[in-house]
Structures are given as structure tokens and as C-alpha cells.
Amino acid sequence: MSIPEPPPFPSDLYGGRLTIDLEALAANWTELNGKVDSRTECAAAIKADAYGLGQERAGQALFEAGCRTFFVAVATEAIALRAQLPQAVIYVLNGLFPGTEDHFVRHHIRPVLGSFCELRDWAHICKAAGQNLPAAVHVDTGIHRLGLSPAEFSAAMADSDLLGPFVPSLVMSHLACGSVPAHPMNRRQLDLFREITAPFPQIPRSLANSAGILMGSDFHFDLVRPGIALYGGQAIDTQANTMRPVARVEARIMLVRDVPEGDTIGYGARQTATRPLRNAVVSAGYADGMLRRASSSDERPGGFAMIGGYRAPILGCISMDMITLDVTDVPQELLQRGALVEMLGPNVAASDLAAYAETIDYEYLTSLGRRFERVYAPLT
């Protein structure tokens, strides 16, 4: 379910701004859709409030671009999306909790079933309704999270008590190592998925996430499910990212101050000024999704921001509400109190920040806080 946006206040009251480019989001879906042939449907993963950027607005933009099938994580997200997009096909990746079947039926949303318990519960509700209610079946090809094992899948497909009441609308699996195309796990999963689904050519199949789309047609099958690439993220570690950036985070300068050589900066005195420095303190922190692990210290560099084309490294520990930047080499006219500094966006890729934070760009996007002013506009 989308989290309600904060009430509007004058822009200058916010410590920062999150700008979301829905045109870029739609363009990214169109580009990914163009990488599959006409027999393959391009869906969209908009779980976690559309990777932190707003499910309601993102879902509408993608539907208008031509997307008709959506994947979310939990039923509350699906119910909210159904109210907005009555004609969409909506799958719930995290499956079916006991006693929730009626909600799925009432709102015409489809669970992704990954256990015998879920299959039995869904078969029971189909029998009670006297109709084949669509649902996906998830088979585990090696990631060992959700999904039936290959042996369980074969047994389930042969069980008339389970598959008599309904025929799966989709059989899917999930790649464990798609961000590294050369990893042998990708080919093992592909071969296993082909093998276990081959006896059921009448059922649509889906294996590819964003990385799977980019790895080529072998992985595409009948439906692909892009996520991170839609939002401008880096799907494959070893390839240039051609997706358009969708989000920009800017934080306001609170003050600029001088730090003498030899003094330390921030909590824990983790970083020492190795020369006379000029610091800018900006109004954003880990409460806003600027991950603390991207902090800087004497032992390792941290992330950075951009100010008018100048790189401004993070100095010291990122705190809850503020970050200190090294602006020694930034012209003074760009450092006015209240001015906005780019913390993430076209010039500071989430994947770059993620490398400093020893994480992935998914975490940055889904962690963006609610204290920023949210603006839906092109990233000009």
C-alpha cells in the first residue's frame, strides 16, 4: 500500500527535495518492452511503494505507457493498486497468508503460490467458488527462498486435487545471480526451468527480472518482470547502465564553516582534516535514506554529493538528520545557505553511492524518507 504523502508545505520549509520523473519511468519501461519480441509481455514490479517513488503515480504512468501486468510484494499493495487500476492484472509475490483467500477473490488479485499449503488453500477456494481463479505457481530453481522444489512442482502438477480446481495462469522462478551474467548459476537455473516447465506448454512462463531481460531472449519466455531498471537502477554490474535516471534527491545547505587542519569531524571523531577545510552541513541524513554505511573516515572514503558540477565528498559520519560535505574546492557563490545540493540523481548514481555503502541501489531507492518535498517533474 502506498504511504500517504505528507501535507504540502512551502518548499523552503523542507530540508530537501525528492524529484521523480514519471516520463523517464515510462520511457524506461518502453525501452525494456522493446527488448522482448511481440510474444513476450513486459510487466512491471512496483513493490515497496514503487521502489520508494510512489506506487500510485508510478502505476498510473506505467499503465498509460502500455503496461498491463504488475507485481507487488504484499496484498495491501495489491488492493491499493486494484482501486487505482481496475483493468490491470496484479500478482502478489509473497503469496497467500492463511485466511486471506477471500480478499484475493474480492479484489481480483492473484497470489504467487510457492508451497503445497498455499496450493491446497487456493484449490479449496476455487472449489468453493466453482471456478478457475487465476494464480501463479512459483518454482524454486536454486535461490532457495520461496517456491516449490522441482520435485514438489512435478508432484503438484500431477495432483488432480490441486490442479483440478484451477490451472495456473503463470509459472515463474527467480534468478539468483542475474546481476553477473557470466555466473554459471544463471545457465543452471535457465536449463532447470526449461526442463521442469516443458511438459506444460499451455501455461505462460516467467523467469526474467531486469537483469534477465538484458541477458537476452533465452531468458524471456512469455513474460518478463523488470524492477530496478524501471527506476534507473543498475541491473547488471558489468554493463553500462542505459536506463534514464528517475529520481533526484537534493538537500539544503544549513551552514558553511571552516575546519582547522588536525580537527576531527562528526560523531565518533572518525575523520581528521588533513588540511584546512571548508565544510557544508546539509539537511539530510540516514532518517531520509542517506545510508549511514556511506560515511567517511580516516580509514576509508565515503560517498559524495554534487554541487554545480563540483564533487563534494562526505566527511565523517552520516547522522540522522545531517551530512557534512567537503566543499573546500567549490566556489563560494554555489554555497549559499538554503541552496540545494544533489545527493542522488543524474550526477550521483544510486549504484555509485551503494558501492560506498556496501549495498545495492535497491536499498537506496526504497529507503528514501518522507521528510523531503516530493515533486513529480522531469529531471532537467
Which sequence spans correspond to the domains of the chain? Answer: 22-231, 247-376
Residues 176 and 141: their CA atoms lie apart, in Å, by: 9
pLDDT confidence of residue 1: 42
pLDDT at residue 6, rounded to an integer = 56
User: Identical fold at 22-231 and 247-376?
Assistant: no
> Which burial class, exposed, middle or buried, applies to 44 when counting CB atoms under 10 A from its CB (0-12, 13-18, 19+)?
buried
* Three cell numbers, residue 363: 536499498
- The label of the residue with cell 515463474 reads 172
Q: Which CATH architecture has domain 247-376?
A: Beta Barrel (2.40)
- Told to judge if 267 belongs to the known catalytic residues of this protein, a careful annotator would answer yes
* Rounded-to-integer distance, Cα 356 and Cα 270, Å: 16
**Which residue out of 47, 231, 362, 364 is catalytically annotated?**
47
Provide the residue type at 149 as one letter. S
d(CA 362, CA 305): 19
pLDDT at residue 221, rounded to an integer: 98
Domain formed by 22-231, architecture: Alpha-Beta Barrel (3.20)
The β-bridge relationship of strands 223-224 and 247-259 is unpaired
| Known catalytic membership, residue 35 | no
Predicted pLDDT of residue 7:
62
Mean pLDDT by groups of 10 residues along the chain of 380 residues: 62 94 98 97 97 95 98 97 97 95 96 95 92 95 95 93 87 96 96 97 97 97 98 91 95 97 96 97 96 96 96 97 97 96 96 93 88 92
Instruction: Please pick, among 35, 51, 91, 267, the residue that the annotation labels catalytic.
Output: 267
Q: What is the rounded CA–CA span in Å between residue 160 and residue 156?
A: 8
87 Cβ contact list (under 8 Å, min separation 6):
68
Give the CA count within 13 Å in the CB-facing half-sphere of 7.
1
Report in angstroms the alpha-carbon separations of 218 from 40, 132, 312.
Answer: 12, 30, 43
* pTM for the full predicted model: 0.93
